[in-house]
């Protein structure tokens, strides 16, 4: 038998401490985990890119049919008024009480 076969390296009963065997086992485990992670991520990427995932309603319901301009203008005016109120509340000069 060949002394450098994979079986002799991985299952050497003579040595309890075998760094070569340990590194080979770690690399095999890492490779399996890497390949499975890549496959899992590719599966989810393909499902998301094909719009097969995360849609619980009909695609026709997602299309905006009409825009309510009046309500949109009210919202914008509301934010503008809040912006003005906040700008008035800002203090320009802060007095340090410790001095």
User: What pTM did the predictor assign?
Assistant: 0.42
- Residue 1 pLDDT: 47
Please report the pLDDT score of residue 11 as a whole number. 65
Q: What is the mean pLDDT of residues 22-48?
A: 94
DSSP 3-60: TTSHHHHHT-SS-S--HHHHHHHHHHHHHHHHHHHHHHHHHHHHHHHTT-SS--S-GG
What are the structural domain ranges in the chain? 6-89
Separation CA 74–CA 20 (nearest Å): 72
pLDDT digits (tens, 9 = 90+) for 56-93: 666 666 677 677 788 889 999 999 999 988 888 876 67
CA distance 49 to 1: 53
């Amino acid at each position: 038998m060949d002394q450098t076969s994979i079986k002799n390296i991985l299952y050497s009963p003579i040595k309890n401490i075998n760094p070569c065997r340990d590194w080979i086992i770690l690399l095999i485990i890492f490779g399996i985990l890497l390949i499975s992670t890549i496959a899992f991520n590719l599966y989810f990427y393909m499902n998301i890119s094909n719009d097969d995932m995360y849609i619980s309603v009909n695609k026709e319901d997602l299309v905006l049919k009409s825009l309510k301009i009046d309500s949109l203008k009210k919202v914008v005016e509301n934010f503008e008024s809040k912006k003005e109120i906040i700008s008035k509340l800002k203090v320009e000069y802060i007095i340090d009480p410790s001095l």
